[in-house]
Chain A
Amino acid sequence: MSQFLKDYVKVKKHNFRVGVKRARLSKACYFFLAPYAIIFTMFYILPVVVSIVFGFTYYNILEAPRFIGLQNYVSLFLEDDIFLMAIKNTFMIAIITGPLGYLGSFLFAWLINELPRWVRSVAVVVFYAPSIAGNCYVIFSVFFRGDAYGYVNAFLMNTGIIDTPILWFIDPRYMLPVCMLVILWMSLGAGFLSFVAGLQGIDKSQYEAGYMDGVKNRWQELWFITLPNMKPMLMFGAVMSITQAFSVCEVTMTLCGFPSTDYAARTIVTHLYDYGFARFEMGYACSIATILFLIMILCNKAIQSMLSRVGT
């Protein structure tokens, strides 16, 4: 055993020395990497560490942080009813809009793939525009206005489905579904572009080979040829849509107000902002951020291991 340990240490030492030597030889590389690495560490890595550390403290910016152990997490899950509601809402939104948006991105990318070139480029703009249109979703508050002159209300009343106007963004029953609709409308983002580009890049000879080997219809072609070729893009798209699905807050905050009626449209991020920037309970907010971080990373890992089995 001690012999093994000694060898292990020896190998590690050797590797380290080789590493140092190689690092010294590639100084220029570090110069190139340095600006990005510094900013990245400062504003992307360090915050995660800071939020994990501050999650265990009581910190309100004015006083020095005070260590209180797991108290924040205990009160989050046992005392904070609104947080539990936020988690429920966030998961509802994520479970419905995430997969639907993802499948939609792929489906539309796949359908427009066979269109002639100029139609395809128009179609890409049409489908991608909502996600880069910024605050354009505000226009939905005109469609779903709460009085009888809101277009959706007027339509439903004229057709006789309802007889009194629905307060879409005030009635807790309708808030989440309408928000989900808006989020779905915006969900063809970077993943969609990646799919479109990936589908274009598939080697056409594979399809020819497929015809020879008796691929009968487009669905078989999709499963046996297209999907296995698209695996890296599928991964990228999954990362994009999971991240998006869990970070919903602007849409619900803008459309349903902040705070919303009965907290029916509260999400984890909204809760985070409430505690961070309205009440300045930074320690508590950091613990929420840590939970959100863990949810996102775990979901991504789980989905990735699922996707690696696609098309086999």
Chain B
Amino acid sequence: MSDMNNNNTTENQNIVTETQETVNTEVVETVDAEAFNLEDEALSKLESVEDVEETAEVKKAPSKEKTSVKKTKKSKKKEEEEEVYHKPIIKRRKPNRSIAGDIFLYLFLLIVAVIMFFPIVYAVESALKPLDELFKFPPRIFAQNPTLDNFSDLFVTLGKSWVSFSRYLFNTVFITGVGTAGHLIVASMAAFVLAKYDFPGGKTFFKLVTVAMMFTGYVTGIPNYIIMSKLHMIDTYWAIIIPAFAFPMGLFLMKQFMEGLPTSLIEAAKIDGATEWTVFSKIVMPNVKPAWLTLIIFSVQALWNNKASTVIYSEEMKTLPFAMQQIQAGGIARTGEAAAVLVVLMIVPIAIFIFSESQILETMASSGLKD
């Protein structure tokens, strides 16, 4: 019974929402447990679950028919048993939780969440404050008369400087865009063969990549500079973009996720006469879209905040975080603009994360490191 259920859940993973899934598993499992002469606890659970189910069943896709047939049988069985036990229904999903503990822990969670988010809210709000409110003391968290002046000031004041704000913005966007796209392609190609083929050297190479995750770019910063100067890449965009292609965590996450793809899918395509490249571009890549987004978020996060001050010297090729530093060095009068740049810098990674959260979490589920 549980086998069938598992099949169903995997098949309909995309269609059925999560609550419904948990409902299904719980129903089947509790019924299993009945065989072991389960008492009121499980019964009550069955009860509470059944309520949700009725509403859920209406929306369910036709492919769910099998399970719903099964369920009607089950509900009959349940009704019979209900006549035997006339016990009050306790609607608790988890029987081993104390209410006091719940309240305490969630209160704690709420307080920490407020503290964690406060600086970000404060940063956004100070970007929206006009100058007189910025220096008000005691401070207010929320702006009284929110304006977008600080953002337009960025373009105005920096428009007069030697390198305009839009140029800094373009540099950052260009580096992030090209670096992320290249990283996605290069890392997925490598991840595909590492995950799905067994060839000499493959496993060793992957081990090297996991070791590379254990040290940061700071370790390799100095030698990288020497290597790049030998390749004449210093003071070009490529000094940041090319190393970003081989970001080890991207390959790692992609490979772990691709291992979850059924090998039969690839074999079937092979039998139909597909080349390796067709298999990769037409079958594997469309199936790992959640992993794309994960690679994108990590790559964007790394590149968007890249100060690049050690490998790029020309002012017109410097990036936005570097410009931010200079604006902040401008002192008190630039406080509003500094806050505005801060918001520009942080809004992009956070926005990408918010829009792709569920896919990213789906990928991270396979991120485990086995030894």
Binding site for B on A (CB under 8 A): 19-20, 22-23, 26, 28-33, 35-37, 39-40, 42-48, 50-51, 54, 61, 108, 111-112, 114, 117, 121, 123-130, 132-140, 142-143, 149, 151, 154, 185, 188, 190, 193-194, 196-198, 200-201, 204-205, 207-208, 211-212, 215-218, 220-221, 231-233, 235-236, 239-240, 242-244, 246-247, 249, 269, 272-273, 276-277, 282, 285-286, 289, 292-293, 296-297, 300, 304, 308
Contacts and interface: CB of A to CB of B under 8 A. Distances in A.
B44 to A, nearest CB: 13
B26 A204 contact: yes
Contacts of B358: 121
A193 B222 contact: no
Interface stretch (B66-74, B77-85, B156-164, B347-355): B347-355
A197 B369 contact: no
Contacts of B229: 61
Contact of B246 (A28, A30, A36, A232): A36
Interface string B352-367: 0110011011111101
Interface in B15-65: 18-19, 22, 25-26, 29-30, 33, 36, 41
11 contacts: A29-B193, A44-B248, A50-B226, A51-B220, A54-B223, A135-B346, A137-B119, A239-B213, A246-B216, A289-B223, A292-B215
Given A111-B108, A134-B321, A201-B365, 20 more contacts: A19-B200, A23-B201, A33-B190, A36-B246, A47-B223, A47-B227, A61-B226, A117-B19, A121-B358, A126-B117, A130-B116, A154-B138, A188-B116, A193-B364, A196-B361, A196-B364, A204-B29, A208-B33, A235-B369, A282-B226
Most buried by A among B221, B243, B360: B221
Given A138-B342, A243-B215, A272-B221, A129 B117 contact: yes
Contacts of B292: none
A30 B192 CA distance: 11
A168 to B, nearest CB: 15
Contacts of B36: 212
A194 B2 contact: no
A26 B352 CA distance: 38
B328 A43 contact: no
B87 interface: no
A131 B369 CA distance: 22
A194 B365 CA distance: 6
B298 interface: yes
B347 to A, nearest CB: 9
A202 B297 CA distance: 25
Contact of A135 (B208, B218, B305): B305
A24 B193 CA distance: 15
Interface stretch (B92-100, B146-154, B261-269): B92-100
A197 B361 contact: yes
A285 B350 CA distance: 35
Contact of B208 (A20, A45, A233, A235): A45
B208 A132 contact: no
A125 B351 CA distance: 10
Most buried by A among B106, B199, B213, B304: B199
Interface in B184-214: 186-187, 189-190, 192-194, 197, 199-202, 205, 208-209, 211-214
Given A47-B227, A197-B367, A135 B345 contact: yes
B368 interface: yes
A232 B370 contact: yes
B101 interface: yes
A30 B345 CA distance: 38
B272 interface: no
B174 interface: no
A33 B194 contact: yes
Contacts of B227: 42-43, 46-47, 50
A218 B349 contact: no
B205 A37 contact: yes
